């Protein structure tokens, strides 16, 4: 009888102690704050504007912009890039009602309430990983020629990043094309194919229907992205086709098959600045976040905000 009582007692209390141990191992770590910098974020869902400590905002941006499964050094590189981007927007928009919106128009920001619902039992583990990335890069941002660097980033390169002048029509000393060979082997978005009817193809490009489709590539960048082309003798920029057809990249091939147009792309995103999957590839090879940032943002320095 005594053995049965002991056995039942163990059955009751062992799960209790397991829960205690689990909870102690997964307590939320605190987010550090030094610089009293705040950012005004417009929430697109209801047009409200919330004012947040910058470091709290960066945690929410990490959650929205980079998979939490990524290596810590890649997340730290993203934290510095996103903080730099945010500080640049604060600088640009100081006389406006808000600094950034919470969508891809600037940076995707997800708040704690959303993350608790989305992550469920994994919330504490995931939020701790992101807070660690932010805490270990506390107040750090990229600087170029004594100014905050506009640290643009995107998902996946086609093997190279793109020069800013070819996408956004401005010269930059740090948003230059660099090799990014890691993306090919680790990003499922490296290659993509899209199919569209010939009728819709012409409609989206505001061209008259023609059963024949003539594509003439007029100019490519050194990274193989299309800068200028003709479609049935009408000239387009590569970025026009990218936007009008909602393509993943300006490195594309267009092929007519009957009444269907097939478009193959390499890479995902505008191509300027840091490739996120390239950052992951570098982290997997043992590169530090400082080395990742130095590779993708040439001639920049990591600087800390003054208190």
Question: CB of 151 within 8 A of CB of 143?
Answer: no
Q: Tens digit of pLDDT for each residue in 191-214?
A: 999 999 999 999 999 999 999 999
Q: pLDDT of 109-127, one tens digit each? A: 999 999 999 999 999 999 9
Quote the CA–CA distance of 149 and 218 in Å, as a whole number.
33
Element (H, E) at 6: helix 2-25
- Residue 4 is predicted with a pLDDT of 54
Strands of 54-204 (E only): list them: 100-101, 140-144, 147-148, 153-154, 191-197
Q: Please tell me the predicted confidence (pLDDT) of residue 25.
A: 53
List the pLDDT tens digit at each of the 307 positions of the chain: 555 545 554 455 444 444 434 444 579 999 988 888 999 999 999 999 999 999 999 999 999 999 999 999 999 999 999 999 999 999 999 999 999 999 999 999 999 999 999 999 999 999 999 999 999 999 999 999 999 999 999 999 999 999 999 999 999 999 999 999 999 999 999 999 999 999 999 999 999 999 999 999 999 999 999 999 999 999 999 999 999 999 999 999 999 999 999 999 999 999 999 999 999 999 999 999 999 999 999 999 999 998 7
Alpha-carbon span 123 to 115, nearest angstrom: 7
**Which pLDDT belongs to residue 35?**
80
Question: What is the structure's pLDDT at 19?
Answer: 40
Residue with tokens 């417009």: 42
Q: Which secondary-structure segment (H or E) carries 54?
A: helix 54-65
Indicate the SS3 state at residue 49: strand
Q: What is the DSSP secondary structure assignment for residue 268, as one 8-state letter? A: B
Could you tell me where the beta strands, DSSP code E, fall in the chain?
38-43, 48-53, 100-101, 140-144, 147-148, 153-154, 191-197, 215-220, 226-231, 234-237, 252-257, 260-266, 274-275, 301-304
Rounded-to-integer distance, Cα 7 and Cα 26, Å: 29
Instruction: Record the pTM.
Output: 0.88
């Amino acid at each position: 009888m005594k053995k049965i009582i002991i056995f039942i007692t163990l059955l009751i209390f062992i799960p209790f102690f397991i829960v205690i141990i689990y909870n102690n191992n997964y307590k939320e770590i605190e987010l550090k704050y030094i610089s009293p910098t705040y950012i005004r974020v417009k929430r697109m869902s209801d047009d409200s504007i919330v004012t947040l400590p910058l470091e709290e905002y960066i945690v929410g941006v990490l959650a929205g912009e980079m998979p939490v499964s990524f290596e810590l050094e890649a997340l730290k590189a993203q934290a510095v890039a996103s903080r730099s981007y945010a500080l640049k927007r604060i600088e640009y928009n100081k006389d406006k009602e808000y600094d950034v919106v919470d969508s891809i128009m600037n940076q995707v920001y997800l708040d704690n309430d959303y993350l608790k619902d989305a992550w469920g039992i994994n919330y504490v583990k995931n939020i701790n990983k992101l807070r660690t990335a932010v805490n270990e890069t506390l107040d750090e941002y990229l600087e170029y020629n004594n100014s905050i660097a506009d640290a643009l980033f995107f998902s996946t390169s086609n093997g190279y990043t793109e020069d800013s002048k070819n996408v956004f029509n401005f010269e930059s000393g740090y948003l230059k094309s660099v090799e990014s060979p890691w993306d090919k082997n680790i990003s499922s978005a490296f290659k993509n194919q899209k199919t569209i009817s010939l009728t819709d193809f012409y409609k989206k490009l505001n061209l008259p229907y023609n059963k024949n489709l003539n594509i003439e590539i007029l100019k490519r960048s050194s990274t193989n992205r299309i800068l200028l082309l003709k479609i049935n003798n009408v000239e387009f920029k590569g970025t026009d086709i990218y936007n009008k057809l909602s393509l993943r990249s300006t490195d594309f091939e267009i092929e007519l098959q009957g009444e269907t147009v097939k478009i193959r792309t390499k890479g995902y995103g505008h191509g300027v600045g840091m490739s996120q999957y390239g950052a992951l590839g570098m982290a997997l090879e043992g590169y530090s976040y400082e080395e990742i940032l130095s590779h993708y943002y040439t001639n920049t320095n990591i600087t800390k905000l003054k208190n």
